[in-house]
Amino acid sequence: MEDNRDGKMSIYRAARSIKRRDNTVYNALRSIYEDTIFVGEISQLWPDLPLIANLRCGLWYSPKFHFTCYFKSTDGHTNNWSFNTSRLNLHVALLSGQKGGCIIVDATRKGKRFPDSMSKTIPIWTCVLNRAILNYRNKMLDSGLLMNEEVVDNSYCAEDVKLKNHNWDCSLHLPLWVPDTEKAAIEERIERWTNQLETSGADIASISSCLKKPLRPLWISQKTVIWLNEVPDHNQWDFTPIILVSASSSSDVFRNKTTSEFSWNYIPGAGDDEESWARGLTPTHFWSHVNDLISSGPDLCNQKVADIVEKDRVYRAHRGEYAPQVSVKNPKIADDVADVFNVELPLASNMHNDDTTFQRSNDYGTTFWIGSTNLAVGTTKHGL
């Protein structure tokens, strides 16, 4: 690896520099905006199904989510699979039973078509819930209690109830790209996770009474082919669909796009890890000012974001709410001189509107901030 002190830059450092340059606020927001069009098209195919954002990334991808959920990708990582009873998301099952299914939206930066939350975490969740429901119904049937409930509800005979339970699908449904060996390893743990759910105190009875058909995940990405004249009615399926929509393109390469006004780079899963790029902007802020932000272009977007965030901070402060100032760290220029620039930059709207220059010093050198321009010049003791 070449040393930066010789005035040269390694391929690794050059790639990192390009990635930092491309991963701007405008590129992220514009990428989210483009992906939202796809999410909107899918939601219109099944307009009766509620649209649910998987926190936190998914919340960026539509201005009109009905609910949120929290399925973590880490619970689906290979050899780290788990069923977390502190994140049961039972409201998703109840809502799906009431509405006949749901659409969950998420995205990923990793070059995959789907995040692990959709590839494995949610399929594990549906399988465990289906088995817990079947166990509950069999237990109630053996005790005669389920028959009483069903007679009041739909006047089923005992054979109808038994047949319904027999046809209740408790299989583990995973996407085709998950290897058979991994699927087998997950299946070995399903029974234990089902026991954990049953002993957690969860209200399985309410879910059982609400769900008429077992839960089952379906996967849709930007590469999925759907014939618009043959879109199936979700009520005709023999299961309750949990439609998993991965909002972004699966490409992990920055793609340059050009409009009549601006040139920008597409970022897959741009809504992920918002702390690293959003500068305090939230999905609510974004969709409240979407036209202004998108039309501002790359050069003015940071200033627009700063103004929006500061205006909201002042509003909340006047209401007596906790409203700390948002600061942004300058990206690292090079590893061996990172500390020179690792200072907190005040957002433009927080800076004084005067022509004064103030300085920030440390052991490596001094940074001079020029008035309210968000520009700085610096010196370093390394002599770079």
Whether 133 contacts 208, CB under 8 Å: yes
Sheet bearing 240-246, strands edge to edge? 67-69, 51-54, 102-106, 240-246, 215-220
- Residue 370: CA count within 13 A, CB half-sphere: 6
Least confident window among 157-161, 334-338, 356-360: 334-338
Pairing, β 67-69 against β 240-246: unpaired
Does residue 352 register a pLDDT over 50?
Answer: no
pLDDT of 339 strictly over 80: no
Where residue 109 falls among pLDDT bands split at 50, 70, 90?
confident
User: Does residue 255 surpass a pLDDT of 90?
Assistant: no
Q: Would you say 124 and 81 are in contact if contact means Cβ atoms under 8 Å apart?
A: yes
* Bond from prior residue into 137 cis (ω within 30 degrees of 0): no
The whole-number pLDDT of residue 341 equals 34
What is the per-residue pLDDT for 349?
A: 42
Confidence tier at 257 by pLDDT (50, 70, 90)? confident
Query: How many CB atoms within 10 Å of residue 287?
Result: 17
Q: Give the CA radius of gyration of the chain.
A: 26
- Cα of first residue to Cα of last residue in the chain, in angstroms, is 18
Q: Which of 203, 204, 206, 201 is nearest to 98 (CA)?
A: 206
**Chain segment 36-69, per-residue pLDDT in tens:** 999 999 999 999 999 999 999 999 999 999 999 9
pLDDT digits 0-9 by tens, 233-245: 888 999 999 999 9
The domain limits of the chain are 22-246, 280-324, 327-380
The first and second tokens of residue 178, run together, are 């998950």
Residues 80-96, mean pLDDT to the nearest whole number: 96
pLDDT band at 250 (very low <50, low <70, confident <90, very high): confident
Least reliable range by pLDDT among 79-83, 268-272, 372-376: 372-376
Q: Inform me whether the pLDDT recorded for 347 exceeds 50.
A: no
Indicate if the pLDDT at residue 351 is higher than 50: no
Unique residue bearing structure tokens 């209690």: 145
Closest by Cα among 53, 118, 132 to 85:
132
Of the segments 13-22, 90-99, 219-228, 373-382, which one has the largest average pLDDT value?
Answer: 90-99
pLDDT (0 to 100) of residue 133: 96
pLDDT digit string (tens) for 113-164? Answer: 899 999 999 999 999 999 999 999 999 888 776 544 544 444 455 555 555 6
Instruction: Note the pLDDT of residue 119.
Output: 96
Give tens-digit pLDDT for 270-297.
Answer: 999 999 899 999 999 999 999 999 999 9
pLDDT average, residue stretch 84-100:
96
Give me the chain's average pLDDT, please.
82
Tell me what pLDDT residue 343 has.
Answer: 38
The DSSP code sequence of 235-299 is: GGSSSEEEEEEE-S-S--S-EEEE-SS-EEEE-TTTTSSGGGTSTT--HHHHHHSHHHHHHHHHH
Count of alpha carbons within 13 angstroms of residue 163, beta-carbon side: 5
Count of CB atoms situated within 10 Å of the CB of 189: 14
User: Considering only 265-269, 311-315, 369-373, which range has the smallest mean pLDDT?
Assistant: 369-373
Q: Residue type at 54?
A: N
- Edge-to-edge, what's the strand order for the sheet holding 375-380? 357-361, 365-370, 375-380
Question: H-type helices in 281-367, by residue range?
Answer: 283-288, 290-318, 338-341
Q: What is the DSSP letter of 119?
A: I
The answer to whether the CB of 249 falls within 8 A of the CB of 222 is yes
Question: pLDDT > 90: what percent of the chain?
Answer: 58
Which string of b and e fits 211-222 if b means at least 16 CB within 10 Å? bebbbbbbbbbb
Q: Are 333 and 341 in contact (CB under 8 A)?
A: yes
Of residues 379 and 267, more confidently modeled: 267
Tell me the average pLDDT across 170-199. 97
- Alpha carbon distance 139, 132 (integer Å): 11
